[in-house]
């Protein structure tokens, strides 16, 4: 008996393919690029009969709201970098030569706390909606930043940064919102704006933090300001 060769359709791909929406994957490779099947079964070339590549318009209003939220958050998170070393040196627990250690400890405490609660905020947004989670996270982050400006000791600064990370789950939720208000035709273009906003926040944050820090009392220039880091 002759050995039969297995058909091409029986081969399975070992490559994992990411799918944004829960639809069935195509069972065949499809038609070559640039060809489109006509209703009669024949293939026709050209873009006149191909309206599947039309890009949906971007939801500019929703994108603008998400961009403002992301920009405000990134500006706030990056605003502590100019004054955090001097702030750490002002704490009574920090000895000479240890400022770098405690600056890293304060900054990493926020990231660690945010990492621990990202899944929770994503789960909660699935239950109660995206908008309540985003509004709650933004408002609580605002309160934590105000409290951070009043910190006078090291443990207070670390505690406030931990609380700020625990209540801030906007990064993942904003990305989820961005995926939900777009479709396959415009999703790739919409997601290119998110790194741009984060980059702008990395620029505006240090500027805001460096300009608004007041070393002297706002009304008495000859007196030191007891809370020089409250304004950013």
pLDDT in tens, 16-27: 444 444 555 445
Dihedrals φ, ψ of 106, to 5°?
A: -65, -45
Q: Two tokens at 119?
A: 């899944």
Beta partners for 36?
Answer: 44
Residue 197 lies in a domain: yes
Residue 92 lies in a domain: yes
Residue 80 lies in a domain: yes
Residue 37 lies in a domain: no
Q: Give which of 181, 179, 186, 126 is closest to 20, Cα–Cα.
A: 179
Q: Which domain holds residue 179?
A: 70-212
Residue 128 lies in a domain: yes
Residues 6+ apart with CB under 8 A from 2: none
Residue 95 lies in a domain: yes
Residue 49 lies in a domain: no
Q: Looking at residue 187, which CATH number applies to its domain?
A: 1.20.1250.20
Residues 6+ apart with CB under 8 A from 168: 73, 114, 137, 140, 141
**Number of structural domains, the chain?**
1
Q: Contact at 8 Å (CB) between 101 and 93?
A: no
Q: What is the dihedral of CA 105, 108, 113, 117, to 10 degrees?
A: -170
CA dist., res. 32 & res. 59, Å (int): 32
Q: Which tens digits make up the pLDDT trace of 151-206?
A: 888 999 999 999 999 998 888 888 888 888 888 888 888 888 888 888 898 898 88
Q: Which tens digits make up the pLDDT trace of 39-81?
A: 554 544 444 444 456 778 888 888 889 999 989 888 888 888 8
Dihedrals φ, ψ of 190, to 5°?
A: -70, -40
Residue 186 lies in a domain: yes
């Amino acid at each position: 008996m002759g050995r039969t060769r297995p058909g091409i359709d029986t081969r399975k791909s070992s490559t994992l393919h990411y799918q944004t929406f829960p639809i069935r994957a195509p069972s065949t490779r499809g038609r070559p690029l640039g060809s489109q099947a006509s209703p009669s079964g024949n293939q026709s070339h050209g873009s006149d009969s191909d309206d599947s590549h039309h890009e949906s318009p971007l939801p500019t209003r929703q994108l603008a709201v998400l961009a403002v939220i992301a920009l405000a958050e990134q500006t706030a998170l990056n605003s502590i970098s100019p004054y955090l070393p001097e702030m750490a040196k002002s704490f009574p627990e920090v000895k000479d030569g240890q400022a770098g250690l405690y600056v890293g400890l304060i900054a990493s405490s926020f990231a660690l706390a945010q990492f621990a609660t990202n899944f929770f905020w994503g789960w909660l947004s699935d239950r109660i909606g995206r908008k309540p989670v985003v509004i709650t996270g933004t408002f609580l982050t605002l309160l934590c930043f105000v409290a951070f400006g009043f910190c006078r000791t090291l443990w207070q600064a670390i505690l406030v940064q931990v609380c700020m990370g625990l209540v801030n789950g906007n990064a993942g939720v904003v990305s989820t919102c961005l995926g939900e208000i777009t479709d396959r035709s415009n999703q790739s273009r919409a997601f290119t704006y998110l790194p741009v906003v984060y980059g702008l926040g990395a620029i505006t944050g240090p500027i805001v933090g460096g300009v608004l820090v007041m070393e002297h009392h706002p009304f008495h220039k000859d007196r030191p300001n007891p809370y020089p880091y409250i304004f950013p």
